[in-house]
Amino acid sequence: MACESSSVKPAFLLLLCFLLGTASAQLSSTFYSTSCPKALSTIKSGVSSAVSKEARMGASLLRLHFHDCFVNGCDASVLLDDTANFTGEKTAGPNSNSLRGFDVIDTIKSQLESACPGVVSCADLVAVAARDSVVALGGPSWTVPLGRRDSTTASLSAANSNIPAPTLSLSGLISAFSNKGFTAKEMVALSGSHTIGQARCTIFRTHLYNENNINATFATSLKANCPSSGGDNNLSPLDTTSPTSFDNAYFKNLQIQKGLLHSDQELFNGGSTDAQVNTYSSNSATFMTDFANAMVKMGNLSPLTGSSGQIRKNCRKVN
Ligand code: HEM
């Protein structure tokens, strides 16, 4: 609803949102300064050690934050296991057999619980881990506003409907992000996340075999690891040039039809976002700044604050 999707609200709408209890309350970068001064350093070292063991984990942790925030806000709902009362989000189409990093989050959360029991939310942990992951892979840094609390439920159906699919057209991508209050420009900047990480053959097979807007040499090399049938879980990098560096190579690839996903190549396919791709391709600093700002905005989607929700002790379970 409008309370969630618009960051600039007229006064009457602010009042209405407040009365409905969905006003986006203030987060603060100093939220844990006295209650858990080691929170940020604990998360940073946990992320660094995970990323040094496996660089892809940085990508997986970034995606975890996105899939949390786009489903009823950044409330760590994505981390909940299924219970008798609800089916969680882990088995949703976009997440199943795909989303990773839950064990890294568990490890860091147990360190946070030892240092300051019951203080640091799983939702803040995921938001900071996403930032630290981008930094660990050479990308921009930003200050993460904190004070999110954790949900006591999850929504399989919202996960299935709110996370954009790789089969979407440009207009479908624009509207999926506009539904969450983002401009097309912010959508392009956030898509630059695909400068790191991997995707499964099953996700890009149709783009590879049935679409024409893919570089022929690139397609041939992908086919070796992604047959027209079978090998569904075989992985290829989203950024063929530098898959473990957070840089602007993703946009340069799109300009030469080396986008891995159908949805990636939609951003540079003769449509309204071509110019933005050109800008980010030729100006890395602009991409980094716009990306960081859009990440802060994404992290502010409908947080639970005050006495809403809880601080989970175990990110997988409601207390
Ligand atoms: C624009 C719409 C988007 C679509 C359609 C999309 C779709 C996908 C798909 C299908 C995958 C591969 C999943 C698999 O093969 O199992 C993927 C991977 C990934 N996505 Fe997106 N995504 C989008 C936007 C974003 C955004 C906004 C972020 C972060 C802010 C993001 C971060 C990532 C990362 C880092 C990976 C690699 C994960 C890994 O290697 O574990 N994506 N995305």
Q: Would you list the DSSP string of 209-240?
A: HH-SSS-HHHHHHHHTTS-SSS-TT-EEESSS
**Which residue has a Cα nearest atom 27 of ligand 1?**
190
Task: Find the Cα–Cα–Cα–Cα dihedral 172, 177, 179, 183, rounded to 10°.
Answer: -110
Taking only the tens of pLDDT, the chain with its 319 residues reads 334 333 444 554 444 444 444 444 589 999 999 999 999 999 999 999 999 999 999 999 999 999 999 999 999 999 999 999 999 999 999 999 999 999 999 999 999 999 999 999 999 999 999 999 999 999 999 999 999 999 999 999 999 999 999 999 999 999 999 999 999 999 999 999 999 999 999 999 999 999 999 999 999 999 999 999 999 999 999 999 999 999 999 999 999 999 999 999 999 999 999 999 999 999 999 999 999 999 999 999 999 999 999 999 999 999 9
pLDDT of residue 19: 40
Distance 58 CA to ligand 1 centre (A): 12
CA 152 to CA 110: how far, in whole Å?
Answer: 19
Question: pTM for this one?
Answer: 0.94
Instruction: Report which protein residue has its CA nearest ligand 1's atom 41.
Output: 60
194 catalytic, yes or no?
no
Q: Ligand 1 center to residue 117 CA distance, Å?
A: 33
Length of the chain: 319
**How much distance in Å is there from the Cα of 266 to the middle of ligand 1?**
14
Q: What type of residue sits at position 279?
A: T
Distances from the Cα of 167 to the Cαs of 87, 145, 164, 260, in angstroms?
A: 25, 33, 9, 12
Query: 65, 67, 194, 207: which one is catalytic?
Result: 67
End-to-end Cα spacing for the chain: 28
Q: What distance in angstroms lies between residue 14's CA and the mean position of ligand 1's atoms?
A: 33
The CA–CA distances, whole Å, from 182 to 77, 199, 266, 297 equal 21, 24, 17, 9
Q: What residues does ligand 1 touch, defined as CB less than 6 Å away?
A: 56, 59-60, 62-63, 66, 98, 100, 164-166, 168, 173, 190-191, 193-194, 196-200, 203, 238, 261, 263
